[in-house]
Chain A
Amino acid sequence: QSVLTQPPSVSAAPGQKVTISCSGSSSNIGNNYVSWYQQLPGTAPKLLIYDNNKRPSGIPDRFSGSKSGRSATLGITGLQTGDEADYYCGTWDSSLNAVVFGGGTKLTVL
């Protein structure tokens, strides 16, 4: 069981918007930066968002991140079939003194 909680799956139609939630506690999300990763089948995870809401160069602005209290959210607009992947949130946990991840959310673009 993961320290951070994500929905197992979400789905939406091409062109639509989807949000993926990540909930934690005051020892992790509540007081530390959150990052988000996209993992396509058979590949390593790819950084989409860091420091809650910053995008690395090359990541389109269709991807956005936000944080409020003990929860974080990844938003994806203008969905494309190529966005079908697993998405993970991650952060530092100050009580565990460790990096923790969510269990992952599978995005299906119908």
Chain B
Amino acid sequence: VQLQQSGPGLVKPSQTLSLTCAISGDSVSSNSAAWNWIRQSPSRGLEWLGGTYYRSKWSNNYALSVKSRITINPDTSKNQFSLQLDSVTPEDTAVYYCVRDPNGDIGFDIWGQGTMVTVSS
């Protein structure tokens, strides 16, 4: 299983951060896995942002700290999922990872390569 991230490394303040994670070797529609975004910065450490999963229907969980600004969407036609974070500020500067949780028990076993996103004008 591999996760391949794509998206810009530089975003202007107040704009939207958009990243995509392409899945190979598993399915975004898996009935056991959850697909997550986690970021890491020196000031905030590892921070879980949210995830999406399919259990007869699609559901999302989001961290309270970003709940008003975040959208995570699955794309079954391309077997991928995406992150959108609106109204970014310099505090959103971090390395962003897409991550698989194969059984929904917070054992993150597969990580994307990471994308360093800088919020700056």
Chain A residues at the B interface, C-beta cutoff of 8 Å: 2, 32-33, 35, 37, 44-47, 50-51, 54, 56, 88, 90-92, 96-101, 103-104
Chain B: residues with CB nearer than 8 A to chain A?
36, 38, 45-48, 61, 63-64, 97, 105-109, 111-114
Instruction: For the A-B complex with A45-B46, A97-B61 known, give 16 more contacts whose Cβ atoms are closer than 8 Å.
Output: A33-B105, A33-B107, A37-B108, A44-B97, A45-B108, A45-B111, A46-B111, A50-B109, A51-B107, A56-B107, A96-B64, A98-B61, A98-B63, A98-B64, A99-B106, A101-B45
The answer on a CB contact under 8 Å between B46 and A44 is: no
Q: Is the CB of B114 within 8 A of A44?
A: yes
Which residues of A have CB within 8 Å of B47?
101
Task: List, in ascending order, chain B residues with CB within 8 A of A46's CB.
Answer: 111
Cα–Cα distance between A104 and B61 once the two chains are bound (Å): 24
Q: Which residues from A are CB-within-8-Å of B38? A: 99
Cα(A50)–Cα(B109), bound, Å: 9
Q: How far is the CA of A70 from the CA of B83 in the complex (A)?
A: 33
Given A99-B48, A101-B45, A104-B45; A33-B109 close (CB under 8 Å): no
Tell whether, in the assembled complex, residue A47 and residue B61 are in contact, meaning their CB atoms are under 8 Å apart: no
Provide the bound-state CA to CA distance between A91 and B106, in Å. Answer: 6
Minimum distance in angstroms from A81 CB to a CB of chain B: 24
Q: Are B46 and A104 in contact (CB under 8 A)?
A: yes
Docked complex Cα distance between A33 and B106 (Å): 7
CB pair B112 A44 closer than 8 Å: yes
A32 — which chain B residues lie within 8 A by C-beta? 106
Decide: A44 near B45, CB < 8 A? Known: A90-B106, A91-B106, A96-B64.
no
CB distance A44 to B106 under 8 Å? no
Q: Are A51 and B105 in contact (CB under 8 A)?
A: yes
Bound: A54/B109 CA distance, A: 12
Residues of A within 8 A of B48 (CB): 90, 98-101
Cα distance A92–B107 when bound, in Å? Answer: 10
Per a CB cutoff under 8 Å, which of A54, A92, A97 touches B106?
A92
Does A35 lie within 8 Å of B97, measured CB to CB?
no
A103 vs B43: C-alpha distance when bound (angstroms): 10
